[in-house]
Amino acid sequence: MPGFFDTKIEFLKGVGPQKAALLNKELNIFTFGELLQHYPFRYEDRTKFYKINQLSDHLEHVQVIGKIRRLETIGMARKKRLVAHIEDETGEMELTWFKGIQWVAKKLVPGGTYIFFGKPNRYGRKFSIAHPEMEPLTAAQEEKSFFQPVYPTTEKLRAKYLDSKGISRIMDILVQNAYPQILETLPVSVIGQFNLMAKKDAIRQVHFPDDPEKLKRARFRLKFEEFFFVQLRLLKLKLTRTEKYRGQVLGQTELVGKFYTDHLPFDLTNAQKRVIKEAFADMRSGKQMNRLIQGDVGSGKTIVAFISALIAISSGTQACLMAPTEILATQHFEGLKEFADMMGLRIDLLTGSTKKSARTRIHGELLNGQLHILIGTHALLEDVVQFHNLGLAIVDEQHRFGVAQRAKLWAKNPKYYPHVLVMTATPIPRTLAMTLYGDLDISVIDELPAGRKPIQTVHRYDKDRLKVFGFMKKEIELGRQIYVVYPLIEESEKMDLKSLMDGYESIQRAFPQYPTSIVHGNMKPADKDFEMQRFVKGETKIMVATTVIEVGVNVPNASVMVIENAERFGLSQLHQLRGRVGRGAEQSYCILMSKYELSKDSRVRLDTMVRTNNGFEIADVDLKLRGPGDLMGTQQSGVADLIIADLSKDAPILTMARDAAQQLIAEDPEITLPQHAMVLRQIKNQKKHAVNWSRIS
């Protein structure tokens, strides 16, 4: 039986079928429960009133009490407007309406006193407010809350009187009806420990706050609850997995020792050693490993993955590494093949473009166990790819995998799920990691290999191009190579390709003495490969390219990265691109070229790049600028459950909520204790409503 909160909103007083249909369509609100969670996005302080002689152009929204002296309609037809002349004891002003004239005129009685609210503008000596909100003085005085909610709404809703005020009106009715029915969702112990406001009061206060302090506590409580249930779900998932799924005991390290003493070309950083130990502890534990490795660009995640694979192979199993793109998979393959060959191990590459004959061979060698390591793209997930005994699956992720995809990877070993190592391509902020990957254990490589000189980054305007060319010439004469990267996005592909070609030509004109390569996505793979190889071999000095090189080539001799139209790139993309240089012993440079006029966000992005090389810091800024909603893969992960909580601003609350969830799980893993009954009920409730997300297109 549907409960009160599942009631369709058309049955709410003041809504009805028409408005309900509009609320469904515009705001995705179908039920009482969903409307209750349509929280205000800000609040206006209506405790302060202005006198007319205190008004100024600089004020945003003001509240004025005025008596109507007279109303007049000016102009004809579509230019018609209604003007109300009002006064208080300090002066006179005007209010103007261009729409809804008849409706307004009916509401305003000359001689009556009203509260008006809106943005004042000066016209000549007088102030005027266009389309103010208004209400008779008496009613307003009776209103309990002077701290007024402002609700998200849309043009279409506004046209049907569901502006912020209108939503507030129906919300008032709903909250009054709902209040006695709102049940607590958090245990008494949690409420006590974190001094939380009761759920029903939090709902009432967030919509109709009595005072700023109560509002603050209400918002805290609701954010806490959202984080708590997301974390609880993730922690429970993690727990079930470690309890239920046994992993193969992979405790042998013979190959690791051999690789270490005979072949490893450098010393591992302490961070790399620590992370390898963490993975090894998991793999030998008898429980299935699910671990995320976070590390900045160039922190050396690949070698950590390879050494983990050596553990798996030493222990008699196979390993695979899946990468998001063919270029990246190929690069991994080429890099790791060198190591595998030294160790006498069989390694192969499987992508969408692997020929049929090779494919058949690979399938066979996987099954009979001859092949030790398989590198590839999503092609690895196909059902025909079956292993003799897959012990470790490594995923180099650009974006979070879907749950379904991960399950496919698991199914590659029907007897024991393989141990799983996930590597992020770029760092993500801790709060986001805890939410996107909260069901995994997290290892962080927080140290770059020794001897790296920090990349120097500068921002130059297009008008400085000649100077930049001069700098490029000097670097090439020192024997270095240079990338010049252009943006290319689908929406403006033609224009982007043209500016890439123009850029290529102007570079050829400026540097006729140096051979230049060009690579972009529209070229045939073979041509692309040919040009890349020329650059890798040092035959060409400059590589003009689109972002295909973002995850592509590794050329230690390339020490300068010029990024054209840098304002059009996202922060993490800029950071990824910059990571293509600084791989050798030389001082490296990143030059961000942009036009002069920049939006505020673009400027923050470029300034951040100039200021810091730290990928974690950059990821934090990126999250603040873009918000988590923009990041891929967030829909299925619990980020979608965050309505009022904000990952970029509420990190401390998230930490508290995760602690609370952890305590609860530790005490009552199955959530069966009577004092946790409300938690279980809420989880079931959320499951029941989870289907609602499918309505979002």
Residues in touch with ligand ADP (CB under 6 A)? 266-269, 272, 295, 297-303, 449, 554, 583
CA torsion 225-228-233-237 (nearest 10°) is 180
Pick the closer one to ligand ADP by CB: 267 or 670: 267
For residue 324, give the 3-state DSSP assignment: coil
- DSSP 3-state percent helix, strand, coil across the chain (nearest 5): 50, 20, 35
- Which two three-digit tokens encode residue 555? 């050329």
Rounded to a whole number of angstroms, the minimum distance from the CB of residue 268 to ligand ADP is 5
Rounded to a whole number of angstroms, the minimum distance from the CB of residue 442 to ligand ADP is 15
For residue 246, give the 3-state DSSP assignment: strand
Pick the closer one to ligand ADP by CB: 366 or 558: 558
Strands 62-74 and 113-118: antiparallel
Angle among Cα 522, 572, 486 to the nearest 5 degrees reads 35
Pick the closer one to ligand ADP by CB: 334 or 670: 334
Q: CA-CA distances (angstroms) from residue 481 to 337, 406, 584?
A: 26, 40, 11
**For residues 248 and 317, what is the distance between their CA atoms, to the nearest angstrom?**
9
Q: Pick left, alpha or beta for residue 113 (phi over 0 → left; psi -120 to 50 → alpha; otherwise beta).
A: beta
In Å, how far from its chain's centre is CA 640? Answer: 11
Pick the closer one to ligand ADP by CB: 33 or 300: 300
Residue type, 197: M
Rounded to a whole number of angstroms, the minimum distance from the CB of residue 211 to ligand ADP is 51
Pick the closer one to ligand ADP by CB: 272 or 594: 272
Rounded to a whole number of angstroms, the minimum distance from the CB of residue 280 to ligand ADP is 17
Rounded to a whole number of angstroms, the minimum distance from the CB of residue 171 to ligand ADP is 49
Rounded to a whole number of angstroms, the minimum distance from the CB of residue 549 to ligand ADP is 14
Rounded to a whole number of angstroms, the minimum distance from the CB of residue 265 to ligand ADP is 7
Pick the closer one to ligand ADP by CB: 94 or 446: 446
**For residues 649 and 627, what is the distance between their CA atoms, to the nearest angstrom?**
10
- Which two three-digit tokens encode residue 553? 């080539």
Pick the closer one to ligand ADP by CB: 298 or 418: 298
Pick the closer one to ligand ADP by CB: 268 or 604: 268
Q: 592 with 565: CB under 8 angstroms?
A: no
Pick the closer one to ligand ADP by CB: 297 or 577: 297
635-674 burial: b if 16+ Cβ within 10 Å, else e: eebbbebbebbbbbebbebbebbbebbeebbeeeeebeee
- Which two three-digit tokens encode residue 602? 């673009």
Rounded to a whole number of angstroms, the minimum distance from the CB of residue 429 to ligand ADP is 18
Pick the closer one to ligand ADP by CB: 331 or 634: 331
Q: 639 with 436: CB under 8 angstroms?
A: yes
**For residues 93 and 85, what is the distance between their CA atoms, to the nearest angstrom?**
6
Beta partners for 31?
Answer: 8
Rounded to a whole number of angstroms, the minimum distance from the CB of residue 423 to ligand ADP is 7
Taking the CB of residue 123, how many other CB atoms lie within 10 A of it?
A: 10
Pick the closer one to ligand ADP by CB: 56 or 554: 554
Rounded to a whole number of angstroms, the minimum distance from the CB of residue 566 to ligand ADP is 21
Rounded to a whole number of angstroms, the minimum distance from the CB of residue 681 to ligand ADP is 44
Pick the closer one to ligand ADP by CB: 345 or 661: 345
Q: Which residue has the closest beta carbon to ligand ADP?
A: 300
Taking the CB of residue 381, how many other CB atoms lie within 10 A of it?
A: 18
Pick the closer one to ligand ADP by CB: 32 or 259: 259
Rounded to a whole number of angstroms, the minimum distance from the CB of residue 394 to ligand ADP is 12
Gyration radius from the chain CA atoms: 31
The gap between the terminal CA atoms of the chain, to the nearest Å, is 28
Rounded to a whole number of angstroms, the minimum distance from the CB of residue 536 to ligand ADP is 13
For residue 558, give the 3-state DSSP assignment: strand
Q: How many helices (H) and strands (E) does the chain have?
A: 24, 22
**For residues 367 and 363, what is the distance between their CA atoms, to the nearest angstrom?**
6
CA torsion 269-272-278-280 (nearest 10°) is -100
